[in-house]
Amino acid sequence: MYDYWRVSPSFVLLRLGIVLVICGGLFWYERARGVSSASIVTLMGRESLLVYSVHLLLVYGKFGPFTFADWVKNSFGFPAAILTTLLLLVVMWALAYGWSRVKASPPPWKYAVQGTVLAGFLVVFFFGPN
């Protein structure tokens, strides 16, 4: 059985085109505004590994009875998908901003927060839900 949404080359190219348009828009935005360390694009670039891994955990992870993939079940319409995407972007921006503030804080506070987060990830990794 052919599944257009998973294996169609035209759908993959469409998504690639959308990503390239977004990247071009961000490039234009940064070029017109001037690159600064306070820019949202720069912040997300500095914290991209954290943003990428946490967004994958949110979208595909299982947190007790809640699973985002089960909640969605391919049932979102266009407005709900846009709203959910914008919500995820805001949450990822807040996470990147908070983490960059932690990294800029005094060493004892920074190491305590980083150690706590690491311990939490290790506990979930080794003892989390199956």
For 87-121, how does the pLDDT look when each residue is reduced to its tens digit (9 = 90+)?
Answer: 888 999 999 999 999 888 899 999 999 899 889 88
Does residue 68 have a pLDDT over 80? no
The total of other beta-carbon atoms located within 10 Å of residue 93's CB is 15
Q: Are 57 and 117 in contact (CB under 8 A)?
A: no
Does residue 25 have a pLDDT over 80? yes
In whole angstroms, give the CA distance from residue 107 to residue 124. Answer: 26
Q: Are 57 and 95 in contact (CB under 8 A)?
A: no
Q: Mean pLDDT over all residues of the chain?
A: 84
- Note the pLDDT of residue 74: 65
Tokens of 116: 């706590």
Q: Mean of the pLDDT values across residues 4-22?
A: 87
- Note the pLDDT of residue 125: 78
Rg (CA), the chain: 18
- 66-67 and 62-63 beta bridge pairing: antiparallel
| Nearest alpha carbon to residue 118 among 94, 102, 101, 97 | 102
Give the global pTM: 0.71
Q: Mean of the pLDDT values across residues 34-46?
A: 83
In whole angstroms, give the CA distance from residue 111 to residue 80. Answer: 39
